[in-house]
Amino acid sequence: MIPPPAASALFTMFYSALTAGVSIALVFSMAILGAVRASDMRRAGRRTPATAYAALAACALALSAGVVIYGLILVAHKS
């Protein structure tokens, strides 16, 4: 039996929203992890790991901001 188009579209929206929500939460948590670990490493006097964690935080934060901006652009174009 072939599902009706509305059910198929609803299922597609459900798994897309779930995937996007989990993904952005994981990326933002990597930004928090990087910032906290960079601070810990800097206090411990370990410059190289501190720099690596700071770079991780910056990249993850930039990716999070990019995804939010992209989402806002998509919403604005739907109107």
Domain span at 51: 5-78
Q: pLDDT tens, 12-21?
A: 888 888 998 9
Q: How many domains does the chain have?
A: 1
For residues 34 and 66, what is the distance between their CA atoms, to the nearest angstrom? 18
For residues 32 and 38, what is the distance between their CA atoms, to the nearest angstrom? 10
Work out the end-to-end distance of the chain between its first and last CA atoms, rounded to an integer number of angstroms: 35
Which token pair is 21? 């929500």
For residues 18 and 65, what is the distance between their CA atoms, to the nearest angstrom? 19
Q: pLDDT tens, 50-77?
A: 999 999 999 999 999 999 999 899 889 8
